[in-house]
Structure 1
Amino acid sequence: MRVWSLHPRYLDQKGLVACWRETLLAQKVLLGETKGYRNHPQLIRFRAQPDPVASVGAYLRGIHDEAVARGYNFDEGKIVSRSPAERIDVTEGQLAFEAAHLRAKLEVRDPARRATLPQLPGPHPLFRVVPGGVEDWEKV
């Protein structure tokens, strides 16, 4: 499971679709509707929020907005919560780590998109960038 901290505009088609599907799975986990992935480290930052389901809903809306901008047909009805969510801090180190991870994927899947990826891409709209290294929950 990869719930990217990077803005979804940087993801290629496969990455955006995978992020949508994996975040829908994360939503199910947070709702207690599945037994798998309950302890996945990618969910720590959502669980730490006052309303984890609202936070994952806000994340999914960001993915959905990018899909709509590209002309994709993601089912917005799958987003359970429409409640507003507080922004979540993400460190510069985490963004840099994810950017390197995405560069490696794009090198194989979409070299043209890789060439346009900034050195430090911006965050998903749910996240606010703060100083710091790679997040403790990240598997390095």
Structure 2
Amino acid sequence: MRLWSLHPGYLDRQGLLAAWREALLARAVLRGQTRGYTRHPQLERFHAHPAPRLAISAYLAGLHAEATARGYAFDRGKIGPLRPVPPIAVADGQLMREWAHLLAKLSVRDPQRHDRLQSLQRPRCHPLFRRVPGPVASWERAPDPPAG
């Protein structure tokens, strides 16, 4: 499961579709509708949110907005209720780890997107998140990017 902290506009088609599917799974976990993935590390920040279910709905809404802008037909009815929620803090270190991870994926799956994005020094985060100073999150399991 990868719930990107990065803005969904950076994801390629395959990444956006996977993020949607995985966020729907996360929503099912937070609703107690599945027995799997209940302790998945990436859900820690949603569990810690004062309104976890509303937070995952806000996350899905960000993905839906990007999909709609691209002309994809993600089912809005799967999102659930939307209300304003406090943002989730995401550390610069975490964003940059995800950025390196995404660029590595794009270099293989979508070289043109990779070439357009690789020089970006400060990627935006998903609308649910708010950038703060700090290291890679304790829950992160992506490998360290290659040195150099």
TM-score (norm: length of structure 2): 0.92
TM-fit CA distance, 1:121: 1.1
Unaligned runs of 5+ in 2: 143-148
User: In the comparison of the two structures, how many residue pairs are matched?
Assistant: 140
TM-fit CA distance, 1:57: 0.3
Whole-angstrom distance in 2 between the partners of 1:75 and 1:85: 22
Equivalent position of 2:28 in the other structure: 28
Whole-angstrom distance in 1 between the partners of 2:85 and 2:21: 20
Equivalent position of 2:82 in the other structure: 82
Instruction: Indicate the percent of aligned positions where both proteins have the same amino acid.
Output: 59
Whole-angstrom distance in 2 between the partners of 1:64 and 1:81: 14
Matches within 5 A, 1:1-140: 1-117=1-117, 118-140=120-142
Whole-angstrom distance in 2 between the partners of 1:80 and 1:70: 21
What is the SS of the residue equivalent to 1:34?
coil
Unaligned runs of 5+ in 1: none
RMSD: 0.8
Q: What are the Cα deviations for residues 48-92 of structure 1, in whole angstroms up to 9, with x where unaligned? A: 011100000000000000000000000010012212211010000
The list of structure 1 runs, each at least 4 consecutive aligned residues, that deviate by more than 4 angstroms after superposition, is: none
TM-fit CA distance, 1:119: 2.8
Whole-angstrom distance in 2 between the partners of 1:68 and 1:59: 14
